[in-house]
Structure 1
Amino acid sequence: MSSPASANSPSAGTRRKVRPGHIELDAQENAILVHYVTETLYCDASGEVTRSESIPGQRKIKVDVSDLHRDNVPVVAREIVERSKIIHPSRTTEVEDLLTQLIAPPIPPASQPQPAAAAGPSSRQRGDAYGGGGRGGGECGELLQLPLADVGMLDDYLEKLYDEAMEEKVAGARALLSLCASPSSLVHLVEHESIVGVLSRVLRDEGRKSPDLAMCVVGIFLVMSHFTDLHALLNAHQVAESTVRLLEYENKRWLVRLQELRQKRQGIVDTTKDMTDDDKQKALELEERRFSRVQRRQSRLVYSAILTLLHLSEDIGVERQLVAHHSLIRCLVPVLDRSPWTHVELTMVALTYLKKMAIIGENKDEMRRAGVLPKLLRLVSCVGGGTQTSPFVLLLACRLLYNLAFDPDVRVELVEGTASGRGSVLKILTDLLKEPRYRQVSLRVLSQLTQDDRCKSLLTYHNDAIPMLLQLVIHFPEQKVGRDLVSVAVNLSTHPRAAEIMCDTKLMDKVVDRVMKTRDALLCKVVRNVARHDVSRPKLYEHLNKSSIRMSHWLKEFARLAQTSLDAPELLVELLGTLSSMSVAEIRWLDLEGLIDLIHKLLSEGCGMTFAFSPLTGAINEAIDDIVLECVMLCGTIAANDSEAMVHLASPRFLTLFQELLTAKQEDDEIVLQLLYLFHCFLMHDQTRDRVMRESEISQFLLDLLRDSNLAIRKQASDSLSIIVEFDPQLADKVKELKYQVHNIEWCQIVRREEQGEILASEIARRARDGNRDGGGHLADEEEEDEFDDCDGRPGFLLWDEDEALADRYWGDVLAAT
């Protein structure tokens, strides 16, 4: 059988993964047996899994017991975990327990011999049933040694719970917990008519008096909560409510004990007795050990309570009730204050529960109010040094941070630094990028944070962040760059300073080269965004056109790639967008072979193009509109920077096409605006102005667009008409009249309606007296009414003798009645 190390080595068409199992002691050979399963996945040429197989195995780790004693057990356990690749550091406590048993193996009491045929579940099985097996078994080690129990004495055990002596209650609860370790015995407990109700009452009334009693009762509920069919029974007896109350009480008890420890520390330091520094140090260490021992026991209880609640919260109704009426989140958040490197399992289960609840908006807001963000940043910042957080704890903390980062207010609080006193969250996430196991989850958090401009701006001050991201992009092992990584790059490329730094890294040539090799549309969007900024565009062009770089003909390659990407509309949009962003006078667009013909083909056949459906572009119609828009923008870039190529675009075949687009896409303001800019470029040059004015109906289009509801379109149409008026005096009067009507549209409409007999004299009189507004031709005060001569019940004429009467361009609704 191959060793675990060799099982991980990949081969062609196969993938292997080693899943660690339970750990047990081989006392006869003084060794620790680590069980594992090797999973082999067989893949075809496309990477799809065709079949899989699992092969169990075990690895024996010899232990030198000659120098092993109780004082160096933690040191030996850490050495074993560091040497073994399949024992996770979070299971160090479990290895310590096995080493302790190797020093002094437990001897069963002589008064209770246990024959082999009647032997109950093994210690490992009891630990698994309780929740202490596997990775989280370290904190429940003391509960593995349970008394032997007989299911026939179930009523006797239940009777002990009613005894006044606490020792009897604990003994009865321990016996019931021992029965829960066996599935056959668990059936009898569930079928008993009153046992769950009694246990819930005992936990609610007596749980605070005895931690041992609370530990046993919660352990019973934890075993039952593993079975979904028993959730209704547990909820009927309010087990979740009783557990939350216990959890709240234990949090308060932890704070009290922590305060007592601080007082004892201060008392030892300030003591005036004849104590040397060594004596004070020993006294402090003694108090620390006592506190740690008590806290380990309490952590096991809190761990079991939270895990029970997590299982019961599979019903979303139960979870909402606990959050709304019992402040569950307020009980979970303080757990994160405990040391993450000594209470690993407890921190993990609390983070798992919070991560599950964070997807609901109300729960997310409650977590913010409870102060979860500073605690999460404290967990993720403990990387390196002597207080390194468990990898599982750090990953769960980052995932919870990712769920919370969907809220804009949370992102602001994180980026502004108000949530942490240990440094910037961006600095922390940048450091996590250097660790491969944390890279994906840190990229997910960054993809959320970089949606805000403030975060993008602050990230540019971290010198290693952007170069590291580009290096990850360039060396990404798969053909297409991962979504999380490329989303961060896309977000940063929209910021001018970040785009400039990307060009300064001298890595953009490798990014462009990867785009041409892999045809990655999202990565091409990064290049497009960098080319959009006025600061970064010249640097990008200069860097890619250096003679020392083989990318000097990258524009030709992009044009050639666009011609072969008709089956990939998302890539075609980005390629055309990149070319349209390169507004550089040195580019000779006619040298890009086939580009002008491609533009004509796409514009002329845009409404009838047949592309393969792509989930990135959504509906096919949307992809076509995007392609048409990018083509028009590219034409505008060419016309604004290359007069020779502009002449080709002003040819009759293109002018007819542009006019058809104005008619067909008149509802799309973006396309109409870009077409107006293109015609404006034609009108600005002598080579194309006469042809455009003579062979197209652009003047009429511009006159019609003066009435458009979009302000940008009206302004662009007005600017273009101003040029036409200079060279076509016959159109000047018509343009002036239309501009006047557009500027005084309300007044002209009233005149037109009045001429058609739609406005009566009484309505005109009412309009004259209606309102007291400043300007616009309405009466501002009572004195202005004297300027009107009310004759025969009709409003009179305004006096236009003074020049100031004509100063107001808008004359209001006061008209003379005929």
Structure 2
Amino acid sequence: MTTLKRIDATSIRIKTLTPLTNLTSVAQEVVEKCKLIHPSKTREVEQVLYYLLQRQAAREDDIMSDREWLKRQLEEQKREEERSVGGDQIKLEAPSIANIESYIEGLYEEIPDKIKSTRNVMELAREPGNLDALVGNEALISALSRVLREDNRKSTPLNTNIITIFFCFSQFPQYQEVITAHKVGDMCLRIVEMEVRRFGIWCEDLKGFEAKCAQNPADKTLVAELDQETRKFQATVQKQDQLLFVSFHLLLNLAHDLSIEPKMVKRGIVKYLVEMMSRGTPELVVLVTNFLKRLSIVRENKDEIVGMGEGFMSKLDRLIPNEHETLQPLLLRLTLNLVHEAHFRSQLHRYHFLSKFIQLLQSTSSASSSGLKRQMTPTLQILYMMTLEEKGRAAFANSESTSLILRLLLSQPTSQSSSERLPLMALAINLANHPRTAPLLLAENSLKFLMKRVMKTRDPLLWKMLRGMAGCTGEEGRMAFMDYIDDIMHLLFKSTNQPETLVEILGLLGSLKIPHFDFAKLAEAYGLLQLVQSKLQSAVDVVVGAGEMASGGGGAGATGVSDDVDNATAGLAEDDDITLEVVVLLGTMANDENIGPMVSKTQIPQILMELMIAKEDDDEMILQIIYCAYQFLLIESTRAVLLDETEIVSYLIDLLYDRNVEIRKMCDVCLDLISETDDEYLLKIRHQKFHYHNSEWLHRIAQSTSTASQHDLMYMVEQPDPQYESYAGQRRGAIFDSKEPWSDSDSEADVDDFGKGMVVGGNNALLDGF
């Protein structure tokens, strides 16, 4: 009943005030009953009633703490027991620490006396000031543990009272040793296992009654029995939930000891916790979810939860999303702990959790309460983890998801903390790097707003997102970036001292593979080739400088030189990404044949070959340099520079023996191109490629003809028999990895090392043959 009070102390009682109440009619009723309120104030009265309704709803929605909920449940139980004693009997006396001996004696009587004694001890244990006296009474603790061990099957209230007493002890670490010494945790697990089996039996019995009623719906006796059994089932389950709550809460407190937690896991507590997620008591579900969240930090526990498959996913599916303000964040944190497992991510997609999280993200982003706002970050983190695989990113290929993420991105304040900004940016970057989702991010003229924002903030993460969009959209999407090419170029030269931003802008330009785009005009207008040459030259100089320092460091100064080399190498590692993006950009620019004459007037081809030698251990760098060289070999002006002023053919032949398959394929294509365009290298390349493609066959021949003369072997290699050529065609592409290629030698003892000159003989050995 709600009371509306006026300043003059006049009270008007309102019987019902719920969200469905017609406030206008209630306000008119209040004005009619109270002669002191003028009818013109009816609107103000209605407003007061509205505030009163909101305050009442807020008070009802307050989340009780575990201790407060348990306190109310125990008080209700106590009132029921007092009512069961008899209405005419005087109310039970308040428990006192002075009567502790009588309470201990009651533990040796029948079940009703034990329940009464344990209830009195429980009331004392709820006061922290009494814990020292209770824990110090060894006879009391022994009697309680004995009753719990021997009579746990006889009475649920008795179990609840005793475990609640030990739960009060477990809240303080100094008293937990008493609990473990009397093996209370072990007995709690046994009781949980027993109660789970009981619940299964109760459910089967109730289903049996329901089946009978379904067969005879007209039998009123069966319907009455079913109604009675349902009420009995609900009352029993409520008492059982109370027992399970205190049992799991006690175990959770004990689990803070890292030596006890693994023992609980071995006893199967994870299975019981997952089983409890389907219970109807919100406080119990909150507790077990919190317990699971704590256990899921350990890999073995996480694997066990994920391994339950449908048994766990069905319960999680029922709970997410959830309106409970405490349960929802715990469910998100638990899911975040598990989503690092690839199998669990696939299960989330299989059970259609993506739409749930998108819906939750939409509601939290538009919420006004701080509690819901805090749920936004873990939701974004989960969505980001769901996009780690290609299939996961493809699941976002709908306008609802991408438009929501894009709207959040554009509405994000620039002053937002990194912990809130990073999950959203990481999610957007992943989606921008997929061909099905990247075009959706460019819809509705969003590029205009993104470019405006990135020009203002110069955010490297936003540049990374734009770079992904440029690489994964089609020609139409890339052409949209041409409207902002001038702004991009201006910011490129302003960011030369900002590596994080520079590497992303270079990557964006390198992704703009647009047919018939005039890169020559762009390079001439902004001096782009000069920037490329300077970056490549600086990368080569760093490697050369580090090599000179390493070769010059001997004797007493070796230690100091080693430190300098490490520093130089570390400096190079920081610039490796920039160097790689410069090479990629150069390869993209080479698609425009007009860029060839401009490149031929620079030292870029020579520097590229030097960089190839300097970065011989970096497969990605070598592959991009070879592709760039291939593009330049297609242009007459740059092809002449590469063939006349560099030793590119020697390098390509040498890389035919590289262990990277893609590098070998690219080298083969480049050598074929050189053979087709330059007759001078045709015979030499054919000769070397014959040995490359038939290295294993030549090795076998060398072994089988160890008595043959060097001259005969040379003649056989230079003039292979047609049947050998047929066999070599079948063995094309074989790589002999167990030995080095062979070398030219004057002694028969070196026949097995035939071809080693291709590695140690220098470039002349590669081109001059044997």
Please list, as runs of the form range in 1=range in 2, the aligned pairs for 1:126-275 lying within 5 A after superposition: 131-133=66-68, 139=73, 142=76, 148-163=94-109, 165-268=110-213, 271=216, 275=220
More divergent stretch after superposition (165-174 vs 431-440): 431-440
Asked if 2 retains the 8 angstrom alpha-carbon contact of 1:247 and 1:305, the reply is yes
Q: Could you tell me which of 523, 527, 531 is aligned with 1:598?
A: 531
Amino acid at match of 1:454: K
- Calculate the TM-score normalised by the size of structure 2: 0.75
Say whether the 8 Å CA contact 1:633–1:674 is kept in structure 2: yes
> 1:653 — aligned with what?
603
The structure whose RCO (Cα within 8 Å, separation 6+) is larger is 2
Q: Give the conservation status (yes or no) of the 8 Å contact 1:650–1:688.
A: yes
Q: 1:801 to 1:136 in 2, by over 3 A?
A: closer
Per the alignment, residue 400 of structure 1 pairs with: 334
1:762-793 C-alpha deviation (Å, 9 max, x unpaired)? xxxxxxxxxxxxxxxxxxxxxxxxxxxxxxxx
**Residue 752 of structure 1: how far off its partner (Å):** 6.8
The alpha carbon displacement at 1:416 in A equals: 2.4
Counterpart of 2:255, as a letter, is S
* Aligned match of 2:574: 623
Q: How many angstroms apart in 2 are the aligned matches of 1:482 and 1:608?
A: 38
Equivalent position amino acid for 2:503 in 1: V
Matched residues in 1 for 2:412 and 2:376: separation?
12
Give the C-alpha shift of residue 294 in structure 1: 3.1
Q: Deviations over 1:728-758 (max 9, x none)?
A: 3332222122111211223445667899xxx
Assess, with a 3 A threshold, how the Cα gap between structure 1 residues 323 and 450 changes in structure 2: closer, same or farther: same
Pick closer, same or farther for the CA change 1:427–1:172 going to 2, 3 Å.
same
Q: Distance in 2 between matches of 1:528 and 1:808?
A: 48
Of 56, 59, 67 in structure 1, the residue corresponding to residue 15 of structure 2 is: 67
Asked whether the 8 Å contact 2:542–2:572 carries over to 1, the reply is no
**Contact 1:31 1:63 (C-alpha < 8 Å) held by counterparts:** yes
Residue 132 of structure 1: how far off its partner (Å):
2.2
Partner-residue secondary structure (3-state), 2:147: helix
Mapped to 2, the partners of 1:434 and 1:261 lie a distance apart of: 41
1:688 corresponds to which residue? 638
CA distance in structure 1 between the aligned counterparts of 2:432 and 2:176, rounded to whole angstroms = 50
2:519 aligned with 1:519: no
Partner of 2:55: 83
The residue type equivalent to 2:358 in the other structure is T
Offset, 1:443? 1.8
Q: Distance in 1 between matches of 2:219 and 2:726?
A: 99
Aligned equivalent of 1:414: 348
* 8 Å contact from structure 2 (residues 583, 625) kept in 1: yes
Tell me, in whole angstroms, the C-alpha distance in 2 between the residues paired with 1:443 and 1:710: 38
- Give the corresponding residue for 2:276: 335
Cα distance, 1:67 vs. partner? 2.8
2:713 aligns with none
Q: Deviations over 1:409-463 (max 9, x none)?
A: 122222223xxxxxx2112122112111243332222212211222222332x44
1: distance between equivalents of 2:697 and 2:216? Answer: 93
- Matched with 1:452 is 389
Change (3 A) 1:598 1:328: same
Q: CA deviation at 1:699?
A: 2.5
Q: Distance in 1 between matches of 2:603 and 2:639?
A: 16
Question: What residue is the counterpart of 1:46 in the other structure?
Answer: none
The equivalent residue for 2:558 is none
CA–CA distance in structure 2, aligned partners of residues 516 and 801 of structure 1: 65
What CA distance in whole angstroms lies between the structure 2 residues aligned with 1:565 and 1:81? 58
Q: Does 1:294 align with 2:222?
A: no
> Which ranges in structure 1 are unaligned for 5 or more consecutive residues?
1-26, 33-61, 73-77, 95-127, 384-388, 418-423, 546-551, 611-617, 762-796
State the distance in 2 between where 1:245 and 1:312 align.
Answer: 16
Structure 1 counterpart of 2:518, one-letter code: R
Q: Is the 8 A contact 2:540 2:611 kept in 1?
A: no
Verify: 1:317 aligned to 2:231, yes or no: no
User: Which of the numbers 272, 290, 297 marks the counterpart of 1:352?
Assistant: 290
Cα deviation, 1:89-116, whole Å, max 9, x if unaligned, reads 254xx7xxxxxxxxxxxxxxxxxxxxxx
Once the two structures are overlaid, the 10-residue window that deviates more, 651-660 or 315-324, is 651-660
Give the deviation of 1:654 after TM superposition: 1.6
Matched residue SS, 1:496: coil
Q: Normalized per residue, which structure has more helix?
A: 2
Matches within 5 A, 1:561-576: 561-576=491-506
Judge conservation of contact 2:339–2:386 (CA < 8 Å) in 1: yes
Deviation at 1:332, TM superposition (A): 1.1
Task: Decide which moves more: 252-261 or 184-193.
Answer: 252-261
- Taking a change above 3 Å as real, the CA distance of residues 275 and 703 of structure 1, as seen in their structure-2 partners, is closer
User: Counterpart amino acid of 2:292?
Assistant: L
Partner residue in 1 for 2:442: 503
Match of 1:623, SS?
A: helix
1:306 corresponds in structure 2 to 248
Residue in structure 2 matched with residue 45 of structure 1 by the alignment: none
CA drift of 1:706 comes to: 2.4
SS of residue paired to 1:406: coil
Q: Does residue 377 of structure 1 match 2:317?
A: yes
The answer on whether the counterparts of 1:499 and 1:530 sit within 8 Å (CA) in structure 2 is yes
Residues 139 and 296, structure 1, Cα contact 8 Å, conserved in 2: no
Query: Contact conserved, 1:207 with 1:246, CA < 8 A, in 2?
Result: yes
Does the C-alpha gap of structure 1 residues 685 and 455 become closer, same or farther in structure 2, counting only changes over 3 Å?
Answer: same
**Residue 365 of structure 1 corresponds to which residue in structure 2?**
303
Q: Deviations over 1:479-507 (max 9, x none)?
A: 46722222222222232111222233432
CA contact (8 A) 1:136 1:345 kept: no
Q: Is the 8 A contact 2:599 2:638 kept in 1?
A: no
> Number of aligned pairs?
641
Say if 1:692 and 1:254 are closer, same or farther in 2 by CA, change over 3 A.
same
Q: Give CA deviations for 1:134-155 in whole Å, capped at 9, x if unaligned.
A: x776655526879633223323
Shift of 1:579: 1.0
CA distance in structure 1 between the partners assigned to 2:307 and 2:618 by the alignment:
45
- Distance 1:806-1:441 versus aligned 2 partners, 3 A rule: closer
Q: 1:715 to 1:542 in 2, by over 3 A?
A: closer
Task: Identify if the C-alpha distance between structure 1 residues 30 and 210 changes in structure 2 by more than 3 Å, giving closer, same or farther.
Answer: farther
Q: Distance in 2 between the 1:705 and 1:228 partners? A: 67
Question: Aligned partners of 2:112 and 2:105: how far apart in 1?
Answer: 13
Alignment check: 8 A CA contact 1:132 1:140 kept? no
Instruction: Answer whether contact 2:590 2:628 (CA < 8 A) is retained.
Output: yes
Amino acid at match of 2:363: E
1:801–1:185 Cα change, 3 Å: closer
Q: Distance in 2 between matches of 1:222 and 1:182?
A: 12
For the 8 Å contact 1:530–1:537, the answer to whether it is kept is no
Taking the aligned partners of 2:682 and 2:231, their CA distance within structure 1 comes to 95
- What residue in structure 2 maps to residue 529 of structure 1? 468
Distance in 2 between the 1:82 and 1:247 partners? 40
The secondary structure found in structure 2 opposite 1:390 is coil
Decide whether aligned partners of structure 1 residues 555 and 715 sit closer, same or farther in structure 2, where only a CA change above 3 A counts. Answer: same
Q: Which among 506, 510, 515 is matched to residue 585 of structure 1?
A: 515
Deviation at 1:576, TM superposition (A): 1.2
Q: RMSD in angstroms over aligned alpha carbons?
A: 3.9
Note closer, same or farther for the CA distance 1:187–1:753 as it changes in structure 2 (3 Å cut): same
Give the superposition deviation at 1:243.
0.8
Q: How far has the Cα of 1:532 moved from its partner?
A: 1.6
Aligned to 1:252, the other structure's residue is in SS state helix
Identity in percent: 27
Q: Distance in 1 between matches of 2:498 and 2:228?
A: 70
Q: 1:141 to 1:431 in 2, by over 3 A?
A: farther
